[in-house]
Each structure stands twice: as structure tokens, then as C-alpha cells.
Structure 1
Amino acid sequence: MAALIRMGQIPGSMLLFGGYGYGNDLHRHLTQGGLRAMMSDHFERPVVILVGLGHPAAISSVMEAYMFLVDWPPSKRDPAHGFAIKSCLAALRGEVEAETVRALFATLAEKYGIVAPDDAAFTASYREGPQGRA
């Protein structure tokens, strides 16, 4: 994944490494050596959200949450969004636990209405379908 980020193939990667916006904060922390080991930023359980045309995407780390948040349209950002960005940066510096960021990100996703439906409920409704059980 790091290779993809360096090559700019991951959405938001230009923001991460010195582009503009919040990415400058992360770039500064990277170059100052303020980040802890990247493996410790993973969530115990991913937050599954709906992106694009309703496709599910699993956000499973602080870095993925950060990348998603910096790609959020500026016109839709609010103080809660800014707080989430700051919490991601704090977690990457080792000041906040990844699970704290996960809880905050999940709450923000609920607020924005992008949390994917429960897998079990989704699977049950898919099997039943509009014409009854398959």
C-alpha cells in the first residue's frame, strides 16, 4: 500500500504527502519522525461505509480514516469533521488510541449517513428479495 501511496494511485495520496490541506500536517509529522509504527494504527474491527454509488468500503486503520476524511468535499465539512481529522493526526503521533479514532469515525459516519447496513440484515434481505425467499 505504501508503494501505491508514493505513486499517487490511492485517492487522497496527493493530500498526504505535501499537496495541500490537512496533508501538510501529516507530511510535517512524517518528516519529523513523530509517527509511531503503522501496524499499531489498525482497528480491531473495521468501520464499513458506503462510498460512490453505494459500494461498501472497510475503513480498518487510522490512516485509512484520515485518507477518507481529507477527501471529504470541503463544502460538506463541519467542526466534527475537523475534530476527526485532528484525532487521526493525534493517533498517528501516538497520543490517542486507534480504537478512540475508530469510535469517533464510526459516529461521524453515522452522522453523515454513510454507515453500511448490518451485514446479517443485508444478507437476509438479499436472500429474500422482492419476490420472496430464494
Structure 2
Amino acid sequence: MEAKPFGNPVLVKEGEDRIREIACIDEALTFLGTWPETRRGPIYQTAVRACRAACEGSMAPEKARSAFAGFARSTGILEKAIVTLEPWKIDPKRGRDIPI
């Protein structure tokens, strides 16, 4: 089966200090499959149905991503995007004298 990627990955917290990137429908379904049964409510079921529908081609991957992100948000595991800039990618401010 061909992996159906999300346009942008969803970042979810796994434990205290680990963040996992969910980049496609297969990864989302795998993650949902490990979710504790005692915590599987209606939002969980909606995310699973959306991901399965996207796998079958009856729903766009971005709609499944939205359902998965909604599940992650509702359970408190959604992580905001991490943005880092490498020092060599930052342009120096113009007009500023910097000794070499």
C-alpha cells in the first residue's frame, strides 16, 4: 500500500521529553492503534475513521490530518511546530559595523 503523506506533519508528545512526528496516514493509524483503550472516546473514533477513509481514497489526506490533529489537541498531546534557525542562515543586519 502506498503511504499517503500529510502536507505538514503533526507533532505529538510521547512522554515528558519526546516529540514524535506523524507525517502520513499510516503513521497516524499506527499511533492511534497504540492509544490506551480506556482513553478511546468519540474524538479518537473520528480520527480513526478519517484515517481509514483516507487510506481507502474516500477522503483527502489533509482532512484525515485535520481529524488526527484535532484528536491530538483534545488529548493535550499536540505539540506546536519547532522552529530553529542555524546561525549561518541568519542574515546580519544591514548598516551595522561588525569587526572581522
Shorter chain as denominator, the TM-score bin is 0.7 to 0.9
Deviations 1:45-100 (A, max 9, x none): 10011113330110000111011111100001101111111111111100001000
Match of 1:114 among 69, 77, 81: 77
TM-score using structure 1 length: 0.58
**Structure with max Cα Rg:** 2
Match of 1:89 among 52, 61, 64: 52
Q: Say if 2:11 and 2:81, in contact at 8 Å, map to a contact too.
A: no
Q: Which amino acid aligns with 2:55?
A: L
1:104 aligns with 2:67: yes
Match of 1:72 in 2: 35
Return 5+ residue gaps in structure 1 as ranges: 1-36, 124-134
Counting helix residues as a fraction of each chain, which structure ranks higher? 1
Alpha-carbon distance in 2 for matches of 1:93, 1:102:
15
Match of 1:38 in 2: 2
Return 5+ residue gaps in structure 2 as ranges: 85-100
TM-score using structure 2 length: 0.77
Alpha-carbon distance in 2 for matches of 1:81, 1:116:
17
Alpha-carbon distance in 2 for matches of 1:109, 1:54:
16
Deviations 1:86-115 (A, max 9, x none): 111111100001000111111111111111
Runs of 4+ in 1 over 3 A off after TM superposition: none
Q: Say if 2:10 and 2:22, in contact at 8 Å, map to a contact too.
A: yes
Alpha-carbon distance in 2 for matches of 1:83, 1:103:
11
Q: Percent identity?
A: 31
Q: Give 1:38 shift.
A: 1.4
Alpha-carbon distance in 2 for matches of 1:53, 1:101:
26
Q: Which has the higher contact order (CA 8 A, sep 6+)?
A: 2
Counting strand residues as a fraction of each chain, which structure ranks higher? 2
